[in-house]
């Protein structure tokens, strides 16, 4: 096994035991990037020289007995919405041409303090306003979409081009590409990870979180980046996240949705996810059928919040340089100018009602288990999907439909791979819990992951 094939947990263990140096690990990952990046286009930019210098510094510190923790010397990537001092933050947009970050974001600062090695910046759908990331190719099938908007981060992790990567999630932008590329993605509780220094799409829905090869890897990253930052008005002081126990699931109640999450879902996706839920029962969990409240309002509330907030954020640049935006993003931003204050306030009120209803749902369960997305990765260029009931849905609406409730309510949501369809493409299962019970979804995901083979598997890139 080559170093780039190691999960974060495995690499950290090898570095700590002095069996692998940060320089060897970083060199291996950079060689992997050189070998496959031309086919995948996961990165906006790769800073190889700076990464090797950081790896050498980490190696000296570790050899001198200064191990900072499990992330020390681990090569990782940042989605190109997340500021790192002295590097461009382009948001994969011509609007940001020439922009260079003056200081680190909270996340970059915390990861730097943990001793990580920054490899570069990964592609996003322009300003995170989309579910495709068109410039990036799926790691399992290059003719299919990577998912978005953290598509570059998901593909980099799935292909071994980064040991882990950071993404953002406004309506599924971590979980969608993670599911489509067969990796783990975590959207933490709203406010648990500060968004200071992160380009916003929709401030009341935005989250920052990790994309990793395993659930245990995600837990390690979350421990490093969670905290309180007064510069982010949504930031809160959550519970300590230093322990994510494994074991079995005895005494834990897993909610199985009767509505919404299995409506208009591809049969192979449903089969894989229901099989994974049955596996949770075999591991000791009690399955409880639940009704997902206010499901019919999810799309209206998501768009009612996101569209006007995105337009407000881009108001000046949209008026000054509209031609620099991609056509699909410009259309959405201009549509936001037509949203009334009354519509926005009604969406806010509905969100409050939905949060209360979801809190009552979680009174009877510990975790809600469901598909992450209703289908695997579609062919690039496909714009719509037709369901068995005769309805037609855009690909973007389809991918966001099952992820948006966790953004609206702010609950933690974890996706992990649980199977493949007949074409060999990954299927993801989503686990959600009440706010600040991030450790619960990580525990359930880890127990499931430890019970199956091939956890942390890289995408089998075609020759």
Catalytic residue numbers?
79, 149, 173
Are the CB atoms for 175 and 150 separated by under 8 Å? no
Residue 91 contacts residue 131 (beta carbons within 8 Å): no
Q: What is the DSSP secondary structure assignment for residue 194, as one 8-state letter?
A: -
The two tokens of residue 377 are: 């990765």
Residue 19 neighbours by CB distance under 10 Å = 9
As a whole number of angstroms, the distance between CA 404 and CA 196 comes to: 22
Q: How many CB atoms lie within 10 A of CB 295?
A: 17
Angle at 301 between CA 298 and CA 303, to 5 degrees: 105
**Is-contact 156 150, C-beta < 8 A?**
no
3-state secondary structure of 182: coil
Q: How would you classify the pairing of strands 392-394 and 384-386?
A: antiparallel
Distance in angstroms (rounded) separating the CA atoms of residues 72 and 315 = 40
**8 Å CB contact between 326 and 134:** no
Nearest-angstrom CA–CA distance, 217 and 189: 17
- The DSSP bridge pattern shows strands 392-394 and 413-420 to be unpaired
Residue 156 and residue 158: Cα distance in Å, rounded? Answer: 6
Q: CA–CA separation, 316 vs 145, rounded Å?
A: 31
Residue closest to 445 by CA, chosen among 168, 216, 252: 216
Q: Report yes or no: 3 and 25 within 8 Å, Cβ to Cβ.
A: yes
């Amino acid at each position: 096994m080559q170093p780039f094939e190691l999960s974060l947990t495995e690499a950290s263990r090898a570095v700590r035991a002095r069996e692998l140096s940060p320089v060897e690990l970083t060199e291996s990952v950079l060689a992997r990037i050189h070998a496959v990046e031309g086919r995948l286009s996961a990165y906006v930019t790769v800073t190889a020289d700076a990464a090797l210098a950081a790896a050498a510094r980490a190696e000296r510190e570790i050899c001198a007995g200064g191990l900072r923790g499990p992330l020390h010397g681990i090569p990782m990537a940042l989605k190109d919405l997340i500021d790192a001092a002295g590097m461009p933050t382009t948001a994969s947009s011509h609007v940001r041409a020439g922009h260079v970050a003056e200081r680190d974001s909270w996340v970059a600062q915390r990861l730097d303090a943990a001793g990580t090695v920054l490899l570069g910046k990964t592609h996003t759908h322009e300003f995170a306003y989309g579910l495709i990331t068109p410039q990036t190719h799926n790691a399992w099938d290059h003719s299919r979409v990577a998912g978005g908007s953290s598509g570059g981060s998901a593909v980099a992790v799935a292909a071994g081009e980064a040991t882990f990567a950071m993404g953002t999630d406004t309506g599924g932008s971590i979980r969608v590409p993670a599911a489509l590329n067969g990796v783990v993605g975590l959207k933490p509780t709203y406010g648990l990870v500060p968004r200071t220094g992160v380009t916003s799409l929709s401030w009341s829905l935005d989250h920052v979180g990790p994309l990793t090869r395993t659930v245990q890897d995600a837990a390690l990253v979350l421990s490093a980046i969670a905290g309180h930052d007064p510069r982010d008005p949504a930031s809160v002081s959550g519970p300590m996240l230093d322990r994510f126990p494994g074991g079995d699931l005895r005494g834990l109640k897993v909610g199985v949705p009767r509505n919404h999450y299995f409506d208009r879902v591809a049969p192979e996706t449903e089969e894989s996810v229901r099989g994974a839920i049955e596996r949770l029962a075999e591991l000791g969990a009690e399955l409880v059928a639940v009704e997902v409240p206010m499901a019919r309002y999810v799309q209206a509330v998501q768009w009612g919040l996101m569209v006007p907030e995105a337009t407000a954020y881009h108001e000046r640049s949209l008026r000054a340089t509209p031609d620099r935006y991609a056509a699909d993003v410009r259309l959405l931003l201009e549509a936001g100018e037509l949203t009334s204050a009354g519509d926005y306030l009604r969406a806010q009120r509905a969100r409050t009602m939905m949060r209360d209803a979801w809190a009552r749902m979680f009174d009877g369960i510990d975790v809600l288990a469901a598909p992450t997305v209703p289908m695997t990765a579609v062919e690039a260029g496909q714009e719509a999907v037709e369901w068995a009931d005769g309805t037609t849905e855009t690909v973007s609406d389809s991918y966001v439909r099952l992820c948006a409730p966790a953004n609206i309510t702010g609950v933690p949501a974890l996706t992990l791979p649980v199977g493949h369809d007949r074409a060999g493409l990954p299927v993801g299962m989503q686990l959600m819990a009440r706010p600040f019970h991030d450790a619960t979804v990580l525990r359930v995901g880890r127990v499931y992951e430890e019970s199956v083979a091939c956890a942390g598997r890289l995408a089998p890139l075609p020759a």
